[in-house]
């Protein structure tokens, strides 16, 4: 962990967002993760993304399960409520919290152990339920807090620090989410902040469940030779298919994109994602094609990154299907919820 | 005069049992008869003994006609409507001497005539129905209505009342109304033409059901959740709790949907399992909604980890445990009170929880509302300990009433203004010295933000592994629980409290105990009775245990769980407590309680129950 406490006073020259807030004001408590942990880079990307979106800190809700990744919700946006749930069960907390108040922005941070083993049932069902949230998996292929056991995302043939080789096939969260009909599926790398920040911003603004699988190496237990989740291996084998630029609502598109290579997708709130296809044959709006492409590249040991699939036409978001009013359920006055004495009197006739 | 002792007159005091095959539509015929008797002003109680099956297994329904308005199961049968050939021999054995057996004589069965001490009433039901109706399924369904007609004639149940009920059910479907009315008359007219009616056991109109309803506890609890202002319900289907969420949904669709926009002021989440169901409740409650989950024993087992989090992180949540027979899958469609210890100490680590014990559907309604108030006041999980007997059977209850002045007790939730007025907010600080801290909801202000966690936290809401800081919070939680009894429903004392002998019990044992007390009083055995309505126990429970020298603890499980809880959580001497246990899966009846108390008191001649 880093022992350097940052000064509380912000220098006047620090840039501010449209709320007049500095990046510093989107940080949380000091990280207790190992120095060089990929997760800390993801935390930094979340800070940058929230600052860039000018999110009101209190409008964000941070949720997590148990594990190294799940600790990180304490390390960003200290002005937001956070909930560190039990192992693998963050999705149910998120589902309930989101049901109670649809007006807030929900970010869940999980890990490969939390999401792909103990919590895979809840992950599967939160996708199916299409809860409006951004779900980040900080994926490093190992259990860190219990000292380096393989997780369910460990690749066949990858070597543990103590030398044993994994022989069980991995579960890929991206393929899983595509199968289940998720409408926003991305993969990134903790070491690629330029790619990750706009993905987080777009994911937060997507109306529905958004999954980002972030390859986030564990420097202590899975960064050695023979590991397929190390920094070195990931850098060599990751392959960006689609880069996404996030353009907030009301902002101008200021970059010139070459014709035919870019597609603008409007998000629910009026902001846009500009998708730059690095592989011209790739179509991120075609779920089946995306699935085949990712699967094929995985077989070649390549992690395809970027915004792998997006569908902004989908209308199955939980509250949309439930026909919940715009006003959060937790804000509806009691008088509107209880039918009253007269109605009860009338109802009694049904039971005579 | 109570039925268990009196034989003099059996008008409005007898038990009918229907033996059927499940999935044949017998339930509507049985409730038709029960409701008709209820509408004649005669108290009734109905108990359904059904298999964990969809179609083809034996099922029984029992109607107790009880002019004294007893609510417990009677432990005898006066009239058996034997419609299931597979269970004939068992059903005949169950009949009390002098009882009546009604059977379908389309296929004569000499074996049924072996008992000389009962009267056999043959009615060729299948033949009557087959001659009048077409279609196999139709005939099966209408045969049930035909035996309802037979009973109406034999018991002198007012035919107009039954027609009225059929009208209410099928008024909008004239074809169904016609066929049901015709089937009813088939049975009724057959009796009038061929048999002597009414039987000595029959119904005469009374005035004892006015101001009362017939309702099951799950419906009442679901309605209570609506009146409590619950907006989020999460659940995983499990017998016998499923109908609670069905009821909540039905009432919400009636009362919570905006007529103009179609917008729904509620959200129901059918979870992937009970682990998720309770997680959703915790998430929604944490975020400021009133949220609940109905379940049964196996679901509680799965919820244990999350319940510990809610206890330690102090998140309100309301859990209805409609108890059924365990262990494991047990007898999923039979009743028991066997989750008492499981719920009282649910989860790992030092945890203790608030339990409410409704005794009937009426209390399910009021306690549902109370459960939310208590959960939010104390910021802790609250279990409403119903059971299958209360939850799924129709009980006669006084009309449910509502006070429009009721305001939900949301507990200590700081508003934005209050937060603005604070220098800093600390989540777990005991500011008021009542062991209850203040909480905030997301979305209010960055100053209100805090981090909820099940790992070690100090009173300021920060992560800690410091022993002293951890203990400050844990000790406050203990104080909070100790204080909790003050805001929970008080126990109900029956009797003057002056007898040396007492009964302590909970929940659905109440009806059987009250009936037993009446019978014992006629035999000059006067016993005080304290019905506990909540855990942690109030000082009244401690006082009752102290002031009685012989105490019978009545409960429906094998291991005397209530007795265990009393010995753990009060200063009572274990040797004063005697268990009366019922764990057959059938609701407890008065007779075993009477027998047990008489036998025990005979062992201790000097322990006399003083007259009232």
| Domain match, B558 and B515 both | yes
Going by the DSSP 8-state scheme, the letter that residue B489 receives in this structure is: P
pTM of the shown model: 0.96
Please give the average per-residue pLDDT across B382-407, as a whole number: 98
Report if residue B310 sits inside a domain: yes
| Domain match, B354 and B471 both | no
Q: What is the pLDDT of residue B604?
A: 75
Q: What is the CATH number of the domain that holds B52?
A: 3.40.920.10
Query: Helix, strand or coil for residue B600?
Result: helix
Band (pLDDT 50/70/90 cuts) for residue A53 is very high
How many other CB atoms sit within 10 Å of the CB of residue B584? Answer: 15
Please give the average per-residue pLDDT across A108-124, as a whole number: 97
Asked if residues B241 and B296 have their Cβ atoms less than 8 Å apart, the reply is yes
Dihedral of CA B426/B432/B435/B441: which sign? negative
B280 close contact with A: CB closer than 8 A:
yes
Taking only the tens place, the pLDDT of each residue in B223-266 is 999 999 999 999 999 999 999 999 999 999 999 999 999 999 99
Of A319, A325, A351, the CB nearest to B265: A325
Taking only the tens place, the pLDDT of each residue in A199-217 is 999 999 999 999 999 999 9
Percent above pLDDT 90 for chain A: 77
Q: How far apart are CA B115 and CA A88, in angstroms?
A: 63
Given an 8 Å threshold on Cβ–Cβ distance, is B264 in contact with A323?
yes
Q: What is the pLDDT of residue A276?
A: 80
Q: Which uninterrupted H or E stretch holds B382?
A: strand B381-387
| Domain match, B366 and B458 both | no
Given an 8 Å threshold on Cβ–Cβ distance, is A81 in contact with B452?
yes
Band (pLDDT 50/70/90 cuts) for residue A1 is very low
Please give the average per-residue pLDDT across B208-226, as a whole number: 98
Report if residue B144 sits inside a domain: yes
**Domain boundaries, position B69:** 13-194
| Domain match, B30 and B178 both | yes
Q: Which residues on neighbouring strands pair with residue B103, listed in sequence order?
A: B82, B122
Band (pLDDT 50/70/90 cuts) for residue A269 is confident
How many Cβ pairs closer than 8 A exist between chain A and B?
216
Beta-carbon contacts of residue B302 (< 8 Å; ≥ 6 apart): B273, B274, B275
Average pLDDT for chain A = 92
> At residue A250, does pLDDT exceed 80?
no
Report if residue B518 sits inside a domain: yes
Report if residue B311 sits inside a domain: yes
B465 close contact with A: CB closer than 8 A:
no
Q: What is the pLDDT of residue B5?
A: 41
Q: What is the pLDDT of residue B605?
A: 63
| Domain match, B177 and B259 both | no
B264 close contact with A: CB closer than 8 A:
yes
Q: What is the CATH number assigned to the segment(s) A23-351?
A: 3.40.50.970
Band (pLDDT 50/70/90 cuts) for residue A281 is confident
Taking only the tens place, the pLDDT of each residue in A187-196 is 999 999 999 9
Please give the average per-residue pLDDT across B56-64, as a whole number: 95
Number of structural domains in chain B: 4
| Domain match, B21 and B167 both | yes
At A104, give phi and psi (nearest 5°): -95, 170
| Domain match, B309 and B229 both | yes
Given an 8 Å threshold on Cβ–Cβ distance, is A100 in contact with B284?
yes
Given an 8 Å threshold on Cβ–Cβ distance, is A351 in contact with B214?
yes
Domain end marker among B471, B486, B501: B486
ipTM for the assembly: 0.96
| Domain match, B124 and B40 both | yes
Q: How far apart are CA A199 and CA A184, in angstroms?
A: 10
Q: How far apart are CA B355 and CA B362, in angstroms?
A: 17
Report if residue B609 sits inside a domain: no
> At residue B4, does pLDDT exceed 60?
no
Report if residue B447 sits inside a domain: yes
Taking only the tens place, the pLDDT of each residue in B439-482 is 999 999 999 999 999 999 999 999 999 999 999 999 999 999 99
Going by the DSSP 8-state scheme, the letter that residue B439 receives in this structure is: B
Report if residue B406 sits inside a domain: no
| Domain match, B468 and B497 both | no
At B533, give phi and psi (nearest 5°): -110, -10
Of A59, A74, A338, the CB nearest to B227: A338
A100 close contact with B: CB closer than 8 A:
yes
How many other CB atoms sit within 10 Å of the CB of residue B51? Answer: 18
Taking only the tens place, the pLDDT of each residue in B415-448 is 999 999 999 999 999 999 999 999 999 999 999 9
Band (pLDDT 50/70/90 cuts) for residue B109 is confident
B306 close contact with A: CB closer than 8 A:
yes
Whether the bond into A13 is cis, omega within 30 of 0: no
Given an 8 Å threshold on Cβ–Cβ distance, is B272 in contact with A322?
no
Q: Which uninterrupted H or E stretch holds B249?
A: helix B242-255
Q: What is the pLDDT of residue B612?
A: 42
| Domain match, B132 and B48 both | yes
Average pLDDT for chain B = 95
In Å, how far is A351's CA from the nearest CA of chain B?
5
Q: Do strands B119-123 and B95-104 pair parallel, antiparallel, or not at all (unpaired)?
A: parallel
Beta-carbon contacts of residue A58 (< 8 Å; ≥ 6 apart): A79, A80, A81, B442, B443, B444, B445, B446, B448, B449
**For residues B377 and B6, which has the higher predicted lDDT (pLDDT)?**
B377
Percent above pLDDT 90 for chain B: 92
Going by the DSSP 8-state scheme, the letter that residue B604 receives in this structure is: S
Of B212, B273, B442, the CB nearest to A81: B442
| Domain match, B462 and B373 both | no
Angle between helices A193-205 and A38-53 (to 10 degrees): 50
B236 close contact with A: CB closer than 8 A:
no
Taking only the tens place, the pLDDT of each residue in B308-323 is 999 999 999 999 999 9
In Å, how far is A330's CA from the nearest CA of chain B?
5
> At residue B602, does pLDDT exceed 80?
yes
Taking only the tens place, the pLDDT of each residue in B507-533 is 999 999 999 999 999 999 999 999 999
Please give the average per-residue pLDDT across A140-160, as a whole number: 92
Given an 8 Å threshold on Cβ–Cβ distance, is B232 in contact with A99?
yes
Q: Of the given ranges (A325-339, B185-199, B598-612), which has the lowest mean pLDDT?
A: B598-612
Report if residue B186 sits inside a domain: yes
Beta-carbon contacts of residue B408 (< 8 Å; ≥ 6 apart): A334, B228, B229, B290, B372, B373, B376
| Domain match, B479 and B498 both | no
Which 124-183 residues of chain A touch chain B by CB within 8 A? 124-125, 129
């Amino acid at each position: 962990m880093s022992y350097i406490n940052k000064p509380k006073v912000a220098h006047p020259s620090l840039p501010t967002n449209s709320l007049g807030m500095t990046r510093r004001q989107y940080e949380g408590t000091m990280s207790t993760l190992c120095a060089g942990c990929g997760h800390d880079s993801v935390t930094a990307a979340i800070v940058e993304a929230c600052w860039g979106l000018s999110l009101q800190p209190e409008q964000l809700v941070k949720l997590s399960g148990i594990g190294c990744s799940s600790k990180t919700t304490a390390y960003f946006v200290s002005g937001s409520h956070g909930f560190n749930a039990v192992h693998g069960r963050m999705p149910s907390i998120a589902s309930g919290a989101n049901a109670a108040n649809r007006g807030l922005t929900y970010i869940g941070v999980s890990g490969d152990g939390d999401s792909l083993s103990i919590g895979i049932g809840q992950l599967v069902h939160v996708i199916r339920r299409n809860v409006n949230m951004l779900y980040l998996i900080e994926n490093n292929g190992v259990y860190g807090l219990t000292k380096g056991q393989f997780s369910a995302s460990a690749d066949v043939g990858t070597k543990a620090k103590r030398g044993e080789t994994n022989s069980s096939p991995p579960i890929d969260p991206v393929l899983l989410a595509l199968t289940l009909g998720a409408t926003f599926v991305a993969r990134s790398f903790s070491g690629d902040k330029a790619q990750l920040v706009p993905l987080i911003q777009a994911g937060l603004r997507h109306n529905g469940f958004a999954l980002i699988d972030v390859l986030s190496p564990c420097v202590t237990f899975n960064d050695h030779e023979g590991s397929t989740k190390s920094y070195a291996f990931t850098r060599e084998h990751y392959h960006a298919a689609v880069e996404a630029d996030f353009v907030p609502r009301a902002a101008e598109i200021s970059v010139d994109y070459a014709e035919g290579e870019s597609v603008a997708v409007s998000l629910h709130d009026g902001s846009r994602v500009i998708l730059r296809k690095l592989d011209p044959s790739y179509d991120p709006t075609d779920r089946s094609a995306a699935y085949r492409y990712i699967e094929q590249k995985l077989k070649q040991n390549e992690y395809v990154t970027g915004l792998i699939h997006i569908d902004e036409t989908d209308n199955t978001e939980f509250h949309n299907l439930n026909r919940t009013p715009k006003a959060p359920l937790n804000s509806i006055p009691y008088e509107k919820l209880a039918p009253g004495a007269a109605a009860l009197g009338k109802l009694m006739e049904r039971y005579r | 005069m109570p039925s268990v002792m009196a034989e003099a007159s059996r008008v409005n005091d007898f038990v009918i049992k229907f033996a059927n095959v499940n999935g044949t539509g017998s339930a509507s015929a049985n409730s038709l008869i029960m409701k008709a008797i209820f509408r004649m002003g005669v108290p009734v109680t109905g108990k359904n003994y059904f298999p964990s099956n969809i179609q083809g297994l034996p099922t029984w329904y029992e109607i107790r006609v009880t002019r004294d308005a007893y609510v417990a199961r009677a432990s005898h049968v006066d009239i058996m409507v034997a419609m299931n050939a597979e269970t004939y021999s068992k059903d005949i054995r169950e009949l009390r001497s002098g009882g009546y057996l009604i059977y379908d004589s389309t296929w004569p069965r000499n074996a049924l005539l072996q008992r000389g001490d009962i009267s056999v009433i043959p009615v060729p039901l299948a033949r009557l129905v087959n001659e009048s109706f077409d279609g196999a399924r139709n005939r099966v369904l209408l045969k049930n209505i035909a035996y309802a007609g037979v009973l109406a004639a034999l018991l002198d149940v007012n035919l107009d009342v039954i027609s009225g009920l059929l009208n209410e059910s099928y008024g909008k479907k004239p074809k169904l109304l016609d066929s049901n009315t015709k089937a009813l008359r088939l049975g009724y007219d057959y009796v009038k033409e061929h048999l002597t009616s009414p039987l000595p056991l029959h119904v005469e109109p009374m005035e004892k059901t006015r101001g009362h309803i017939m309702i099951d506890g799950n419906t009442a609890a679901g309605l209570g959740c609506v009146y409590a202002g619950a907006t989020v319900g999460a659940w995983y289907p499990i017998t016998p709790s499923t109908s609670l969420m069905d009821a909540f949904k039905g009432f919400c669709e009636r009362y919570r949907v905006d007529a103009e926009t179609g917008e729904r002021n509620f959200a129901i989440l059918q979870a992937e399992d009970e682990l998720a169901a309770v997680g959703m409740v915790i998430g929604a409650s944490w975020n400021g909604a009133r949220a609940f989950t109905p379940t049964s024993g196996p679901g509680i087992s799965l919820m244990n980890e999350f319940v510990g989090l809610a206890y330690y992180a102090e998140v309100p949540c309301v859990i209805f445990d409609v108890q059924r027979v365990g262990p494991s899958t047990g007898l999923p469609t039979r009743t028991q009170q066997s989750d008492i210890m499981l719920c009282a100490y649910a989860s790992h680590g030092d945890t203790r929880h608030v339990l409410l014990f409704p005794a009937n559907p009426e209390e399910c309604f009021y306690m549902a509302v109370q459960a939310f108030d208590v959960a939010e006041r104390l910021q802790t999980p609250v279990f409403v300990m119903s059971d299958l007997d209360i939850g799924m059977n129709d009980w006669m209850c006084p009309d449910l009433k509502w006070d429009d002045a009721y305001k939900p007790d949301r507990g200590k939730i700081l508003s934005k203004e209050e937060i603005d007025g604070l220098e800093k907010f600390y989540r777990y600080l005991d500011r008021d010295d009542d062991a209850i801290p203040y909480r905030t909801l997301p979305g209010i202000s960055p100053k209100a933000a805090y981090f909820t966690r099940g790992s070690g936290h100090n009173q300021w809401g920060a992560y800690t592994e410091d022993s002293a800081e951890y203990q400050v919070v844990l000790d406050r939680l203990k104080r909070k629980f100790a204080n909790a009894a003050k805001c929970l429903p008080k126990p109900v004392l029956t009797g003057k409290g002056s007898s040396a002998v007492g009964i302590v019990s909970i929940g659905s044992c109440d009806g059987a105990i009250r009936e037993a007390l009446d019978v014992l009083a006629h035999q000059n055995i006067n016993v005080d009775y304290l019905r506990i309505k909540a855990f942690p126990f109030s000082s009244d429970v401690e006082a009752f245990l102290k002031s009685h020298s012989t105490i019978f603890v009545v409960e429906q499980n094998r291991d005397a769980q209530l007795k265990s809880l009393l010995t753990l959580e009060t200063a009572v001497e274990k040797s004063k407590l005697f268990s009366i246990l019922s764990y057959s899966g059938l609701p407890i009846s008065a007779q075993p309680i009477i027998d047990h108390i008489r036998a025990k008191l005979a062992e201790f001649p000097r322990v006399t129950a003083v007259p009232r």
